[in-house]
Amino acid sequence: MDVIAPPCRVAVLGQGYVGLPVATRAVEAGYDVVGFDVDKARVDRLVRARSYVDDVTDDDLRRVLDTARFHPTGDEADLAGFDVAVVSVPTPLRDGAPDLGHVRDAALLLARHVRPGCTVVLESTTYPGTTEDEFVPLLESAGRWRAGRDFHVGYSPERIDPGNRNWTFRTTPKIVSGVDAASREAVAAFYRTLVERVVEVAGTREAELAKLLENTFRHVNIALVNELAVLGHDLGVDVWSVIDAAATKPFGFMPFRPGPGVGGHCLPIDPSYLSWQVRRSLGQTFRFVEIANDVNDHMPDHVVGRVAARLNRDRRPVNGSRILLLGLAYKRNSGDARHSPAISVARRLADRGAVLHAVDPLIDPDHVPPGVTMVGCTDDELAAADLVVVLTDHDVLDWELVGRYAERVFDTRNRLGAAGCERL
């Protein structure tokens, strides 16, 4: 096979939390990049250098646009002539099963433009076998070229952690694989120009399962400490000090922290891909995932119950109480509200009749649920609240001010410490 080397035109399909950082990094590495997305409003924002992703700022967008090598588009014709295509489209769950609709649509788009020597990489999180059993046949559907013989295909799972300033797309090791050895090398060669370290694995199924293992590991361990937090409260034991004590062991232990639940795209979704495949392929239940799902899914209910109990001690019902929520995003220092447990808590409290105000300078106002009024973190708001509930501990919030003016605080993140409030 004639290999185009070095590749110069890159198409990134999907310009969300995964695809946009890949696209901007590829521009920085010197590639001519097509940022393709079917969402016209999203493309319009990119053209105007208006970012909607934590890890790519407006200034970052202006920089890559000024190179004249970044081309946001929703026009399929702009995909023609690509050397490398990276597919980073959503793979949500529908009725408990992975929905590969966006992956299939992307493969069919690319099928009309694949050519000898090009490389196609799937980054979307999915279950083992997707690349070779679902993705490749669609790429070959035009009938002219064959994967492995005429063009390269591989899988490289995304490892984007929104808002993480220590581990970025460039510094996080990148797992790569291919449908054959030549494809694996082509995928590895491309990512070596973008990231500091590439990790090659035997095949696409290993790479697909590695991604699910990473997130299942976190999901299960967060569920463990969440259940400990619930039990610790009932036993009168401070679970936060227990975790800190256990973390002093220099081997065989990794600390995880409890919270109001899990959110984002990965943890509430990815382990369920694996659980679904185990049920479908083996007729068995992945018990660890099922238990973790049950624990983490019920944490917002536990938080609301603790809020009600805290108010009841002062003879206040939830209905009519003024509650100030600090943070609505699913994680610290991110505006990502996908599957946020804080949003779930807000909705449950609104259903109980609470008067809800919330502070989150990072979240998109369009993602604020009904019944929640966004406010600033001021001394008046803090003092007026019947209860302040810490749900997401953004560094940009004035925690000293919270400690000074909030009369009652329920802290699900241990941001204020034992002396400042009641903790999860």
Distance in Å from the first CA to the final CA of the chain:
59
State how beta strands 84-87 and 93-94 pair.
unpaired
What is the H or E stretch that residue 120 is in?
A: strand 119-122
User: Does the active-site annotation cover 266?
Assistant: yes
The answer to whether 321 and 387 have CB atoms below 8 angstroms apart is: yes
DSSP string, 161-207: -TT-SSS-TTTS-EEE--SSHHHHHHHHHHHHTTSS-EEE-S-HHHH
- Compute the half-sphere exposure of residue 118: CA atoms within 13 Å on the CB side of its CA: 24
Distance CA 268, CA 343 (A): 14
Residue 146 CA to residue 140 CA, distance in Å, equals 6
Distance CA 110, CA 138 (A): 9
What backbone phi and psi angles, to 5 degrees, belong to 199? Answer: -115, 110
Q: Where do the H-state alpha helices sit in 29-146?
A: 40-47, 58-66, 101-111, 130, 136-139
- For residues 59 and 62, what is the distance between their CA atoms, to the nearest angstrom? 5
DSSP 367-417: GSPTTEEE----HHHHHH-SEEEE-S--TTS-HHHHHHH-SSEEESS-SS-
Q: Do the beta carbons of residue 392 and residue 326 sit within 8 Å?
A: yes
Per the rule left: phi > 0, alpha: psi between -120 and 50, beta: everything else, 122 is: beta
Give the span between the Cα atoms of 227 and 207, in whole angstroms.
31
* Cβ-based neighbours of 252, under 8 Å, separated by 6 or more: none
The catalytically annotated residue of 118, 266, 377, 421 is 266
Q: ∠ CA(240), CA(241), CA(242), 5° rounding?
A: 90
Q: How far apart are CA 200 and CA 182, in angstroms?
A: 12
The alpha-carbon radius of gyration of the chain (Å, integer) is: 23
In order, the DSSP letters of 81-94 are: T-SEEEE-----EE
* 100 within 8 A of 273, measured Cβ to Cβ: no
User: Which positions are annotated as active-site residues?
Assistant: 266
